[in-house]
Structure 1
Amino acid sequence: MMVSALFGVVSAGHLAVALWGAHRLRRNGNRLLIVPLLLCMALVYDNAVIAVGAALGPGAVLEVASIPRFAVHAVLTPTLILWAQTVACRAGVRWADSRAGTVIAWALALGSIAVAIVNDVVGLSLRPLWWAGTLRYANIPVPDTEALPVVITGVFVLVAGIGVWQRRRWLPMMLTAAVMTFAAAVAPESPLVGNMGELVLAAGLMGTAHWLRREPDTAALPATAVAKLTRRAGWIAFPALVVTTLWPGVGVVALVQPVYEILLVVHAQLGITTFGLPPKGNRLRRFHTGFGYANIPLLAAGQLLGLFPPTRDLAAAVTWALLISITVHIGIGVVFALRRRAARPARRAVPSKGPRTYTNSSH
């Protein structure tokens, strides 16, 4: 009953965020609030059904009440891709305002909706499922591509959030998308953590929509700061990738995987916006950056292949290839780090502080 009550608390949290968003929408007509508002209302219902599931018990009432949970998720969640692209465009993120960015956003959104409808509407097969004293109806057996629309949506919102942070210094969209990405990875083992991540994301999206309307244009992050952050994200992600490759799915190590994936997305996004596509610089710099860009399709391929049981061994091989590729990328990065260190001017000796001498200005 305690966990059921926690789902009720999450539902109430979504309701509070939705009421705030509805108030702001009615007051200033900010249409960017509409999608987060609809998302919150859907999640109010979703968490409320899970909260009362054990009390209702298995049966036709709970089963029928569960159908909208899947239908609404299938259509509504991928629309966040279009919402995130619109937000990034209004924030002045260059790629989001391009024709290619618009085409990619629509293709990903429509593709995700199609996959979700096939999985959770056409192929819906509800079975009662108990977890930690809660009862809900789940789509069993779980389709191999069940997580795909959520992963695509989460990564796109994260990428857009990184762009908004870099262009306008607004962190909440990126941070809450990162929290949701981590929570989604934990959700198969702990649905409550996944639903709490949705609450964090909903609050971040609602806050972003409100901020974008009232915040004046701010200067972008300096290029030198972006370059440093890009390198640090890569340095931190590398040991996490090593650990998860050597000991995949082992206990706490499994929690490290979404961390390195988030850091690699941050590293790649900042790298592309800093060094360009195709990359600029001398031959070694172009090779180093281009090699880093090659890790993006390797990461995506590993994730996609891991969804299907027949290709999971191949996904493991791709993960090893990713580790080797990133090791080469890091090795060249070490060369650049040593060059930067050698190029730093010697620090001037700081004179020792002596007693201050005061002069009487009245003379």
Structure 2
Amino acid sequence: MDQLIYMLFTFAYMALLIWGLKGIHTQEFSKWTSVVYLVIIALIYDNGILAIGHWIGEGAVLENLNVIRYWMHAIITPLLVIFSIGTLRESGVSWAKKTWVTTLSILYTIVAILIEIVTVTADLHLQVEKEYGVVSYTFAEPPSGPPIMILFITLAMLLAGGVLRKKTGWAVFFIGVVIMTIGSAIPFDVASNAITNLFELILLTALVWTKRKLIQKELYVKIVKPH
């Protein structure tokens, strides 16, 4: 069953990428929020490998393909910090364009990447897992403690989403992060490992929708006129 679900997620992310790129101009790619496309590509790969692992079969090929999944997660997922600050910069939040914010955002992202590499990816030992029709490679010994890198990213997205909602009235970004956070924290008693991926899709849909608003120049800081 999960095999089909992951395949549907793969096609959903492909559609999301196409929608996100619709009408985009070349100069738009240089903006911070364009990193969302890299995140979507990584998720297309992630869900795609989970969907076709059964056909590839266990062995070195599938194991190496799964190793790439974990490295992409470690390096690309933290770019959501850059996306978060980018939404503020591009919607006209003046302090988000300051040098110290730019520097802090980049350093924060690098730290998140290094934390994941040092604590998880650098010493990656995988074993085959067969569950709900999906064949993949996962941790032989799951990392202990909370997912620090994810906590770093979630905090940045919640803060940026909250500021964006307050300054522009656009709440979709913030709501998407809240749904993802709550959905990931609740242990669902369902015969599937794909439930978390559903919340990821909801979050990325919210991010791409926000990016679309920025591309179309429809997201600006509200200027409060003095009485």
Matching of residue 174 in structure 1 with residue 177 in structure 2: no
- Residues 191 and 220 of structure 1, relative CA distance in 2, 3 Å threshold: farther
Match for 2:28 among 6, 30, 35? 30
- Contact 1:66/1:137 (<8 A) preserved: yes
- 1:218 positional shift: 5.1
**1:208-251 CA deviation, whole Å, 9 max, x = no partner?**
122123216352699xxxxxxxxxxxxxxxxxxxxxxxxxxxxx
Match for 1:192 among 185, 189, 194? 194
**1:306-359 CA deviation, whole Å, 9 max, x = no partner?**
xxxxxxxxxxxxxxxxxxxxxxxxxxxxxxxxxxxxxxxxxxxxxxxxxxxxxx
Separation (CA, whole Å) in 2 of partners of 1:220 and 1:133? 54
- Residues 30 and 52 of structure 1, relative CA distance in 2, 3 Å threshold: same
- 1:44 positional shift: 0.7
Q: Which amino acid aligns with 1:135?
A: V
Give 1:28-67 correspondences, 5 Å limit: 29-31=27-29, 32=31, 34-67=34-67
Q: Which amino acid aligns with 1:17?
A: L
| Corresponding position of 1:132 | 132
- 1:34 positional shift: 2.8
Over the aligned positions, Cα root-mean-square deviation in angstroms equals: 2.6
Separation (CA, whole Å) in 1 of partners of 2:91 and 2:144? 36
| Corresponding position of 1:17 | 16
Matching of residue 96 in structure 1 with residue 96 in structure 2: yes
- 1:29 positional shift: 3.9
Partner of 2:22: helix, strand, or coil?
helix
- Residues 188 and 60 of structure 1, relative CA distance in 2, 3 Å threshold: farther
- Residues 194 and 61 of structure 1, relative CA distance in 2, 3 Å threshold: same
Counting matched residue pairs gives: 220
- Residues 221 and 133 of structure 1, relative CA distance in 2, 3 Å threshold: farther
Separation (CA, whole Å) in 2 of partners of 1:220 and 1:202? 28
**1:147-203 CA deviation, whole Å, 9 max, x = no partner?**
111121122112101111100011111111112222332489864122112212222
| Corresponding position of 1:83 | 83
Separation (CA, whole Å) in 1 of partners of 2:89 and 2:187? 31
- TM-score of the aligned structures, taking structure 1 as reference length: 0.55
Partner of 2:14: helix, strand, or coil?
helix
Separation (CA, whole Å) in 1 of partners of 2:197 and 2:3? 12
Separation (CA, whole Å) in 2 of partners of 1:207 and 1:76? 20
- Residues 79 and 188 of structure 1, relative CA distance in 2, 3 Å threshold: farther
Question: Using CA pairs below 8 Å that are at least 6 residues apart, which structure has the higher relative contact order?
Answer: 2
- Contact 1:127/1:137 (<8 A) preserved: yes
Partner of 2:93: helix, strand, or coil?
coil
- TM-score of the aligned structures, taking structure 2 as reference length: 0.85
Separation (CA, whole Å) in 1 of partners of 2:135 and 2:224? 47
**1:49-81 CA deviation, whole Å, 9 max, x = no partner?**
111223333222211111110111111111111
Separation (CA, whole Å) in 1 of partners of 2:114 and 2:95? 25
Give 1:109-188 correspondences, 5 Å limit: 109-144=109-144, 147-186=147-186
Partner of 1:30: helix, strand, or coil?
helix
What runs of 5+ residues in structure 1 fail to find an aligned partner?
A: 223-363
- Residues 146 and 68 of structure 1, relative CA distance in 2, 3 Å threshold: farther
Separation (CA, whole Å) in 1 of partners of 2:198 and 2:223? 31
Q: Which amino acid aligns with 1:15?
A: M
Identical aligned residues as a percent: 25
Give 1:1-363 correspondences, 5 Å limit: 2-25=1-24, 27=25, 29-31=27-29, 32=31, 34-93=34-93, 96-144=96-144, 147-186=147-186, 191-213=193-215, 214-215=217-218, 217=220, 219=222
Separation (CA, whole Å) in 2 of partners of 1:187 and 1:45? 25
Q: Larger Cα Rg: Structure 1 or Structure 2?
A: 1
- Contact 1:166/1:220 (<8 A) preserved: no
Q: Which amino acid aligns with 1:7?
A: Y
Separation (CA, whole Å) in 1 of partners of 2:219 and 2:91? 10
Separation (CA, whole Å) in 1 of partners of 2:187 and 2:93? 31
